C-alpha cells in the first residue's frame, strides 16, 4: 500500500502547478487541477456568492471560473474539441500498445520513465505549435481562446462592463498580450459592441480549422455587413447572419457536437460535456449561439453541472494530492475502478507534460 502511495505522489507531482497558479485545466485529459485542499475548495464553493471573499479565495474562484470557461470553449467548438480529442487519443493509443506490467503502480512508473516515441512527441508538439502560429493581424489561436476566457471571467464578476471599462481593466490587469490582442483587433472593426460580441465571434472563429486566420476577416465583414451594431449602450447582433458569414470560410467545421458525430473516437471526459451542453441547448437560451451572446448571465446554471463531469485534483492536507473522479460517474464505480480511472487519466496528463515541457 505504501508503495502505491509513492507512485501516486510521483505521478501527481507531474501536474503540480507553482504556488502562484491558483488552478489550471489540463487540456489533454480535462483534469481540473485546483491548487488548494478539497476542504478549502468546498468551503469556497459553498460561499461562492459572497461578495467579500478574502483576496486569495477570490483569485481561486476567478481562476477556476476562467478555466471552466475553457471547458465551455472546448465542448462548444469544433477546433478545440478536435484538438483535445486528438491529443488524448494519440497518447492513449500509445499507452494501450505498451504491454503494461500486471501491477497498476508498475504501469504508471513505467510510463513516467519510458522514452516517449519520437513520432508521438512530434505529433503532440505539432498540435501545440499550431495554437501559437500567428494568422491574420498577428492573432494566434491560443490568444483567441485566452482573450475570450478573460473577458467572460471578468464579466461573470461584473455584468455591467462597457467596452471602455473593459479596456481599462485590460490596461490595469491584463496578464499577457495573449489575453487582449485579438480583442483589440476585433474592437477596431466592432467598436463599443466588442464587449458584447466578442465571445460569439471568437466562438465562431473556433468553429473553423483556422481560427487565427478567420477572426479578423470575420469581424471586418460582420462590421461591413452591419451584422453587429451598437447604439445607446445596447448591442444588436444578427446571429443567423453571423453564422452564415462564418460558414463561408472554407475551414468551417461547426460546433463540437456537430464535429463529434464525425470523429471516430470520443474524448472520455469532454464528450460528456458536449452531451450536457447539447441537452441544455434544448432550452432556447442555451442554444449555443444565443448562449455565447451572454455567457456571463447564464454562467451560474452551467458551471455546476459541468464541474460534475470533470476529474478534480486537489492538494491534500496530509501532504499528498487527491484526485476525485467526476461526481457524475463516481457513484457507479467501485473503489478499484475509480483508482484505475484516475491512474489512467493522470498517466496521460503526465506524459503530455513530459512531451511539452
Q: Cell 488524448 belongs to which residue? A: 88
Residues 127-156 that bind Zn ion (CB under 5 A): 146, 149
Compare residues 94 and 157 and give the one whose CB is closer to Zn ion. Answer: 157
Q: How many residues contact Zn ion, by CB under 5 A? A: 2
> Cβ(356)–Cβ(128) under 8 Å?
yes
Distances (CA, A) of 25 to 165, 170, 250, 336: 28, 23, 30, 25
Compare residues 142 and 278 and give the one whose CB is closer to Zn ion. Answer: 142
Pairwise CA distance, residues 246 & 215, whole Å: 9
Compare residues 11 and 149 and give the one whose CB is closer to Zn ion. Answer: 149
Closest distance of CB 66 from Zn ion, Å: 5
Compare residues 116 and 307 and give the one whose CB is closer to Zn ion. Answer: 307
Compare residues 26 and 146 and give the one whose CB is closer to Zn ion. Answer: 146
Total residues belonging to the chain: 357
Closest distance of CB 147 from Zn ion, Å: 9
Closest distance of CB 129 from Zn ion, Å: 18
Compare residues 61 and 222 and give the one whose CB is closer to Zn ion. Answer: 61
Closest distance of CB 149 from Zn ion, Å: 5
Strands 321-324 and 312-315, sheet pairing = antiparallel
Q: Cell 495573449 belongs to which residue? A: 178
Compare residues 92 and 146 and give the one whose CB is closer to Zn ion. Answer: 146
Residue 108: how many other CB atoms lie within 10 Å: 22
Compare residues 57 and 146 and give the one whose CB is closer to Zn ion. Answer: 146
Residues 272-291 that bind Zn ion (CB under 5 A): none
Closest distance of CB 26 from Zn ion, Å: 12
Cα dihedral: 35, 37, 42, 44 (round 10):
-60
Compare residues 15 and 227 and give the one whose CB is closer to Zn ion. Answer: 15
Closest distance of CB 73 from Zn ion, Å: 9
Residues 64-93 that bind Zn ion (CB under 5 A): none
Q: Cell 497558479 belongs to which residue? A: 21
Closest distance of CB 87 from Zn ion, Å: 17
Neighbouring residues of 5: CB distance < 8 A, sequence distance ≥ 6 = 320
Closest distance of CB 182 from Zn ion, Å: 13
The 3-state DSSP class for residue 135 equals coil
Pairwise CA distance, residues 83 & 323, whole Å: 24
Residues 5-64 that bind Zn ion (CB under 5 A): none
Closest distance of CB 229 from Zn ion, Å: 30
Closest distance of CB 122 from Zn ion, Å: 25
Compare residues 183 and 341 and give the one whose CB is closer to Zn ion. Answer: 183
Pairwise CA distance, residues 50 & 72, whole Å: 24
Nearest to 111 by CA among 95, 124, 125, 89: 95
> Cβ(76)–Cβ(256) under 8 Å?
yes
* Residue 233 CB-density burial (10 A; 0-12 exposed, 13-18 middle, 19+ buried): exposed
Strands 228-231 and 234-237, sheet pairing = antiparallel
Distances (CA, A) of 232 to 162, 167, 235, 340: 12, 19, 9, 57
Q: Kindly list the residues in this chain that would bind Zn ion in the complex (CB under 5 A).
A: 146, 149
Amino acid at each position: 500500500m505504501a508503495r502505491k502511495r509513492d507512485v501516486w505522489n510521483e505521478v501527481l507531482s507531474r501536474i503540480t502547478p507553482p504556488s502562484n497558479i491558483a488552478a489550471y485545466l489540463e487540456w489533454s485529459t480535462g483534469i481540473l487541477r485546483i491548487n488548494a485542499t478539497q476542504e478549502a475548495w468546498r468551503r469556497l464553493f459553498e460561499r461562492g456568492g459572497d461578495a467579500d471573499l478574502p483576496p486569495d479565495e477570490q483569485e481561486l474562484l476567478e481562476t477556476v471560473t476562467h478555466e471552466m470557461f475553457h471547458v465551455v470553449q472546448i465542448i462548444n467548438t469544433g477546433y478545440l474539441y478536435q484538438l483535445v480529442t486528438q491529443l488524448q487519443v494519440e497518447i492513449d493509443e500509445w499507452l494501450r500498445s505498451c504491454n503494461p506490467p500486471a501491477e497498476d503502480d508498475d504501469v504508471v512508473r513505467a510510463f513516467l520513465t519510458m522514452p516517449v516515441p519520437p513520432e508521438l512527441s512530434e505529433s503532440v508538439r505539432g498540435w501545440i505549435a499550431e495554437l501559437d502560429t500567428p494568422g491574420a493581424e498577428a492573432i494566434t489561436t491560443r490568444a483567441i481562446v485566452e482573450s475570450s476566457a478573460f473577458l467572460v471571467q471578468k464579466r461573470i464578476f461584473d455584468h455591467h462592463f462597457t467596452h471602455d471599462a473593459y479596456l481599462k481593466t485590460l490596461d490595469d490587469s491584463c496578464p499577457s498580450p495573449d489575453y487582449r490582442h485579438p480583442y483589440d483587433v476585433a474592437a477596431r472593426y466592432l467598436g463599443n459592441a466588442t464587449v458584447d460580441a466578442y465571445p460569439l465571434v471568437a466562438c465562431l472563429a473556433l468553429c473553423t480549422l483556422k481560427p487565427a486566420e478567420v477572426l479578423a476577416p470575420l469581424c471586418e465583414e460582420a462590421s461591413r455587413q452591419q451584422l453587429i451594431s451598437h447604439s445607446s449602450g445596447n448591442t444588436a447582433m444578427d446571429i443567423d447572419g453571423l453564422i452564415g458569414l462564418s460558414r463561408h470560410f472554407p475551414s468551417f467545421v461547426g460546433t463540437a457536437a456537430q464535429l463529434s458525430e464525425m470523429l471516430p473516437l470520443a474524448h472520455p471526459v469532454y464528450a460528456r460535456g458536449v452531451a450536457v451542453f447539447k441537452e441544455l441547448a434544448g432550452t432556447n437560451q442555451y442554444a449555443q449561439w444565443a448562449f455565447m451572446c451572454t455567457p456571463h448571465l447564464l454562467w451560474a446554471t452551467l458551471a455546476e453541472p459541468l464541474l460534475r463531469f470533470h476529474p478534480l485534483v486537489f492538494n491534500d492536507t496530509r501532504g499528498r494530492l487527491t484526485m476525485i473522479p467526476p461526481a457524475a460517474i463516481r457513484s457507479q464505480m467501485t473503489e478499484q475502478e475509480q483508482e484505475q480511472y484516475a491512474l489512467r487519466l493522470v498517466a496521460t496528463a503526465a506524459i503530455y507534460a513530459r512531451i511539452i515541457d
